[in-house]
Structure 1
Amino acid sequence: MPVTQNHQRLIKAATKLFHTRGYAASSLKHLAATSDVPLGNIYYYFKTKDALADAVAEGHHEVFCSLFAELEARHADPGQRLLAFLEYPRAQRHVFTQRGCPVGALALELKKAGTDSYQSVRAIFRLQLDWFTAQFALVGRKDAATLAEHLVAALQGAILLSHTFNDHAILTRQLTSLRAWLQPLVTS
């Protein structure tokens, strides 16, 4: 099916709704109102709510693919890529504080719901882990996979605490701490 304006509006609206209201609390009626696409037309584009969740996850996946490609283009050194990545959550700190991590929240909800769409969101975390592992390996770290897991877990935890306490300073402090932890690991 060709991508149309309505298709894109539905994905954009679902991305916003899933992040602000949550997957379970976002009804197709809400989606129709937010996207300005008639309720009956939604099924033409997405046969199920899970198919829509897959499309939302694909959008998040593309954001990270683009971000990683941009970091690789800007920084020849993999250690500098890792350090530069920390600017992404720093730039998003106000959104993360208000709403949490869109990928983390969606992963939790879809896992609890037992939907097949969980695999699409899980793939985003796999992408992150694989990219971070590759960067750590390129700087010669034998424990690259473990360091990648630590980085993702620390980021998700910092975002969760910042959101829970509605305090972006928590995320800012944790990103500063992560940079201090990361710097000696990736520089010679």
Structure 2
Amino acid sequence: MTNSRGGKRERLASAAARVLHEQGVEKTTLADIARAADVPVGNVYYYFKTKDQLVEAAIDAQDSDLRTMIEALEAMPDPRERLKTMVGGWVDQRDLAARYGCPTGTLAAELDKRADGLDERIGAVIRTFLDWMERQFKEMGRDDARELAVALLAAYQGISVLTNALRDPELMVMEGRRLTAWLDTL
């Protein structure tokens, strides 16, 4: 029984992350998330009493996905190759970015307007990513590691917004090439 509970809860959290990315927090209903998770809507309340709890679970799911990605990248021996592989992953997600933007960035922008603590939770996910990037630049021997990490993350967030606003996935491809070449110069 514990496994099925955990499975349903995880399905709901994963579905919440996906649906919130596609529709936004305000437009998403518990029924939308239940449908996406293939869980009866009445069962949602067993796991999550409010929509905000589901948003929090979606943030946790994004954090978990980020940590899984970082763990996979850490298996690579060279920090520059880790960063270039990360950029390649962004490019691979260009169609998703063209439709909905960056999952974490768009959620952060939406939650920032609420000031209910969830904005700080998603900010912590972004900070984890930024800190990881900084460590890569430090491993490359860079004294300006924090500035480089901010520049890289800002470039990604910026191109995600443009890719989404203009519905042009090729913008992500172009910026991916530029960022990869930039990383090779450092």
Could you state the TM-score of these two structures normalised by the residue count of structure 2?
A: 0.92
> Distance between the aligned counterparts of 1:182 and 1:134, measured in 2?
14
Residue in structure 1 matched with residue 153 of structure 2 by the alignment: 152
Match of 1:27 in 2: 29
Paired with 1:46 and 1:10, the residues of 2 have a C-alpha distance of 9
Following superposition, the deviation at residue 40 of structure 1 comes to: 2.9
Q: How many Å apart are 1:87 and its aligned residue? A: 1.1
Q: Does 1:64 align with 2:75?
A: no
> Would you say the 8 A contact 1:78–1:138 is kept in 2?
yes
Residues 85 and 36 (structure 1), Cα distance of their counterparts in 2 relative to 1, 3 Å cut: closer
1:138 paired with 2:139, answer yes
Q: 1:108: how far off?
A: 0.9
Aligned to 1:90: 91
Pairwise CA distance, 1:101: 0.8
Q: Which amino acid aligns with 1:7?
A: R
CA contact (8 A) 2:108 2:123 kept: yes
8 A Cα contact 1:14 1:31, kept in partner: yes
Runs of 4+ in 1 over 2 A off after TM superposition: 2-6, 29-41
| Root mean square deviation of aligned Cα | 1.7
Check the 8 A contact 1:159/1:171 in 2, yes or no.
yes
C-alpha distance in 1 between matches for 2:33 and 2:129: 29
User: For the Cα contact (< 8 Å) 1:50–1:115, is it kept in 2?
Assistant: no
What is the alpha-carbon distance in structure 2 between the residues aligned to residue 36 and residue 144 of structure 1?
44
Structure 1 residue runs of 5 or longer lacking an equivalent are: none
Q: Distance in 2 between matches of 1:32 and 1:139?
A: 45
* Contact kept in structure 2, 1:51 and 1:117, CA below 8 Å: no
Q: Which moved more, 1:28-37 or 1:9-18?
A: 28-37
| In structure 2, C-alpha distance between the alignment counterparts of 1:69 and 1:22, rounded to whole Å | 28
SS in 2 for 1:112: coil
